[in-house]
Structure 1
């Protein structure tokens, strides 16, 4: 006799049956969860059951019912059981459900409960980055932490309006439609809708040299073995479906055996979509919410992290794609939301793993990585053989090459 477990459909039906019974007979939820109707069934629901029911209603966008069951789950939650993860999940879903109900007061309250209940929950900070490179002592960079583990940072004011004009003038005549399709079952769908171009080194732009040096300054990583800057323009309706920047296949299969995989991503916001702000804003919370979101699409979202980043002109978004072991971090899956009005232009610098051996040494732990090793690369120590003299001279002149072209000389 085969054993079959309840399916998601079974859970959905059970949840809606309980909600119907409760609503029809105006039953007290606590008694219902205890198994008490007109008589006691002696089969109470525990915190896991109530949480599962609450999540089910939240997924069906019935948030007013979801919060009731999530509150009951939290009431039944026993902190002494050592189930800290369950408690954090209950609180996190309460924050989300209240936010979707536009109840900012309750969402803020439960967010504070979450921060206090999980002391190891990382506290995000804003600071001036002045270490890692001598130049930053003179011109520190504004760094905003958006997420920790994996780390997602936003560096503010790292590209000037003049440099943006130079990028626009170079790229506007070079744009070509992005043609990237992916098969899903028997159908084929468009993975992205945009125009793009690579800014090759043979352009000879001083702006590009400055940008390469600046990326090296605030990330502590060399771009000498990385791909060219990639400029992408999203017009109305333009988007990029969820994807990872690191290569899923082995680098040798893709012809990048010299450069390695994409270790990190620096995404410059060259332009932003238009903002629309309502005339009547009643309180401070709504002011912050309105001003911080464009409301016209174009956000960069990380679905696994629950993080969305709205474009900030002149800023650069940074995250690391690989673990210290070289394996890809699937939590870095990200997408570009469709633009509703105007257009959005970004410029991406993928930083490859080759060349980072001394600045980001491998760790014995898979997840240990980037924050502990954020130091100035000592690239000269790598160039200790005679055949690398020309490469070393190129690096000192702040020139950057496709490594396949460089090593073809020897």
Structure 2
């Protein structure tokens, strides 16, 4: 277990991991995991790195061509007849003049420009926090949506094959280690079995020789996972296979002795606390539309709306929840997103359950914010009370923006207006569990609901597929 933990620390670059079972952000991040906009710069970084590697490859190939010419020249001299005056002079001249030049080929510093570029790119590389947050995102998605490890590794989501390049042993290994660290042994065993499958069926075994981990490591992890599950005979099998490779492994010798004792007197296993269980229940549940006296009508109570009335659908009367369809057009949506991009930033004061970046736009500084703030007030009938700010939120991997599962969302009554600035293929729904309502993101629509004092009435499901933007305004 000690060796496994050390490898996990190395693979996660020493990142801090757990508070209340959740992933804790370490200092320094490029926000690659929490914003799709930030991921665009990661793709550009990858392109730059590939181009730099190709340039380095050309430098090496040019140098290799010179070496091959030197070899050919020397080998041609070996074919000449011995004890020949002319050949003797040619050989003497060749060794005297050419070989000092060949020595310079050995000494030549290759790819110094490319090495310098690569070193400069290091500061743009994902940090331990970026990597840690990406692990947290995968963990949240797998938990909330019951994703199958094999489907995930094969690029299949929600039954659809996206024809992506399969995950490698490395991705399966690190996710198995993550679940093992959290004592989710069933999930860790699944990921390790998948890693073992990819190892045994690897098309080029020589590639595996340069890995930090080796085949015995996989056997150790599978032993630990089965031990955690109480499958002691299976754990003994993996321990014995490892010892057949490394017969003097002191750690495994001790583990084998413990496993044989556990098999003889199995203890009662305790269940590990599961995270995201509330969110999993909320997002996996199907909510049937109630047959009530809820209304769907056109909103035209201002001169502007009389020219372009909006369709408003009441979703709840018990707590006021309504959706305004086609509230914002495509042009205004793109202008709003463009205005917000330079201002997107991480909000360190939000809870751990947030995978997004937020931009705050004021009416006094941005025409589009002033226009949309005015539209919101016109449609909802609220009067302006000094709040001129409009939030624009861009989500990342498993993006969501929820109140804490155990905390209260507000200490006062207010109303939220949430505008969907994009669609989401899967996930991203706003759910009001106490009202049995789930709202799917629909680009351009605006969801308005009342927050009642000292209560949490809404959640947002993690985004499984797609890129999502929303705009939020709190109406006091």
Shorter chain as denominator, the TM-score bin is 0.3 to 0.5
Considering fraction of residues, name the structure with more strand. 1
TM-score by length of 2: 0.37
Larger radius of gyration: 2
